[in-house]
Structure 1
Amino acid sequence: MLFFFLIPLWGPLCLLLPPLQTYARFTGAPLKVHKVTNPWQSPSGTLPALRTGHGEVISVPHKIITHLRKEKYNADYDLSARQGADTLAFMSLLEEKLLPVLIHTFWVDTKNYVEVTRKWYAEAMPFPLNFFLPGRMQRQFMERLQLLCGEHGPENEEELEKELYQEARECLTLLSQRLGSQKFFFGDAPASLDAYVFGYLALLLQAKLPSGKLQAHLRGLHNLCAYCTHILSLYFPWDGAEGPPPRQTPVGPETEEEPYRRRNQVLSVLAGLAAMVGYALLSGIVSIQRTTPARAPGTRSLSMAEEDEEE
């Protein structure tokens, strides 16, 4: 069965995307990857999205992995019960300790967001989406960060940042100690834990960040760096260090198989125009004023003359 996998062209910045692609590479799942720059080109309206051979569309990341496992593409098939428990424990640790710092690094840190994240998205997205989607995504990630760190108030932001980065450094050190000199976390074969760890670490290791507090600590853990390099060379040979080869526009019948293309292009343009007009009206750049039409010269004197004749 062939799976049609829709992913964003700016994949390296999607925090949940690298684990999905890596997991599929580990299991050998037959994915036909289609990279797009407009989320409305997805039948579900979100990215990533998996279209199965039966026409079903799945957009939730963990449900995508569950579906792949049902189709016998299971990276954890040979794990013992204890290794399965370790997988759940370490994945929980990644989400609790490392994910908040990744969100802060790419979406909250002003320097990184302006010079890397927003610039990367704005260059990859088509007009007019590149005007408002990066800002909307930033707000969504900031809301998610608040949910992950709900017990902290906004008044101690500096203390919170210091605590988050300290816990993330401890998490990386623990991962380095657990990996040791092994190729993968459970021996010579990769598992789902490797997919998630690689997804987080490769994102942090490969990006050129002007403010890289956690990045410097990761580069000091040489076994984790070698671990990421090994997975890149083995499962992503087209990805040297920066990204996939240049995207080529498909030619032929494959371009005609996308039934939503023209509709989504029209909708994206209309939505962009509506957003820009609304912003202009709300900000006062454009205003609408009602004026009373001026009377033609002589109208006033003519009406007065008519009143005199009536008298």
Structure 2
Amino acid sequence: MWFCVFQKYNADYDLSAKEGADSLAFISLLEEKLKPALIYTFWVEPKNYVDVTRRWYAEHLPFPLNFFLPGRMQRRRLETLQLLRGDQSLEAGDELEKELYRDAAECMNLLSQRLGSQKFFFGDSPSSLDAYVFGHLAPVLKSKLPNGKLQQHLKSLDNLSNFCSNVLLLYFPRDGRGGAGPKASSAPAPDAGDFDHVPNKRRSAAVRAGGAGRHAGPLLTGIVSVQHVQRDALEAPPPLLDRQTLGNHDDDDEDGDG
């Protein structure tokens, strides 16, 4: 990592001390306010989990992992949500959903205000915060969710939803133009000239920051993948597998199917 920093492959290399502090503050806000709602949306809300999350893994994981890994992953996400909220008796319901979505909406509103009319959160070049926000919000924007309350609020914030679409088109053009999930073309495509001046090192840094963001927590792992195995990879939640889940799948013989 330090080699990348010394070679200026650092998405935050040009940020001022204040901007760096703001970036850390917003990342903490995402962890506290948005991440619990994302876990609930994809792993707890019954319709979303059964029709989208579990189905996606059942179709993309090899046999026999597709039979028991989704259920195991759901249990681990529930444990994460319990730890984040300090509540061991979580149950899907209107009160929990309202509280989580209220916090998430507040977080997205603050992000939208911070972004304003800029291309990225700190001007014309991407930072680790841009990668972090994209990693959290792109699956919400692009997944076809039966219960899409969080998605609806995100779509109401034009600059934030356009930001996600623009990052897809810029760094993952095949995914961004695939038309998966809600219409990707609903957001205006960025002009080629808008991003031509972004230095290659900063572009590489943003991609690396996105890769690092995948391992920042159980939810983020694999949210953005540069391997185009499936054209329709964004029609359902992108891979949320973590290495621990795959590495330990032989340890729990008592696990049944999801």
The alignment's TM-score, normalised by the length of structure 2, stands at 0.68
1:216 counterpart SS class = helix
1:102 counterpart SS class = helix
Contact 2:12 2:128 in 1 (8 A): yes
Q: Which residues of structure 2 form unaligned runs of 5+?
A: 181-224, 232-245
Alignment of 1:61-140 (within 5 A): 68-69=4-5, 72-140=8-76
Aligned-pair distance for 1:163? 1.2
Structure 1 position 179 matched with structure 2 position 107: no
Q: 1:165 maps to what in 2?
A: 101
Q: For the residues of structure 1 that align with 2:135 and 2:230, how far apart are their CA atoms?
A: 22
Contact 1:122 1:131 in 2 (8 A): yes
Q: For the residues of structure 2 that align with 1:102 and 1:67, how far apart are their CA atoms?
A: 33
Structure 1 runs of 4+ aligned residues shifted over 6 Å read none
Q: For the residues of structure 2 that align with 1:209 and 1:166, how far apart are their CA atoms?
A: 18
Which string of whole-angstrom CA distances, capped at 9 and with x for unpartnered residues, describes residues 72-108 of structure 1? 4200000000000000100000000000000000000
Counterpart AA for 2:160:
L
* Higher normalized strand content (fraction of residues): 1
Counterpart AA for 1:92:
S
Which string of whole-angstrom CA distances, capped at 9 and with x for unpartnered residues, describes residues 48-77 of structure 1? xxxxxxxxxxxxxxxxx6775466420000
Structure number with greater Rg is 1
**Greater relative contact order structure (CA < 8 Å, 6+ sep):** 2
Equivalent of 1:147 in 83, 94, 100: 83
Contact 1:87 1:193 in 2 (8 A): yes
Q: For the residues of structure 1 that align with 2:67 and 2:118, how far apart are their CA atoms?
A: 45
2:174 counterpart SS class = coil
Name whichever of 158-167 and 76-85 sits farther off. 158-167
The alignment's TM-score, normalised by the length of structure 1, stands at 0.57
Equivalent of 2:146 in 203, 206, 210: 210
Distance 1:112 1:67, change over 3 A: farther
Distance 1:143 1:184, change over 3 A: same
Q: For the residues of structure 2 that align with 1:127 and 1:70, how far apart are their CA atoms?
A: 44
Q: For the residues of structure 2 that align with 1:184 and 1:279, how far apart are their CA atoms?
A: 44
Alignment of 1:247-266 (within 5 A): none
Aligned-pair distance for 1:177? 0.9
| Aligned-pair Cα RMSD in Å | 3.1
Structure 1 position 221 matched with structure 2 position 120: no
Q: For the residues of structure 2 that align with 1:101 and 1:155, how far apart are their CA atoms?
A: 13
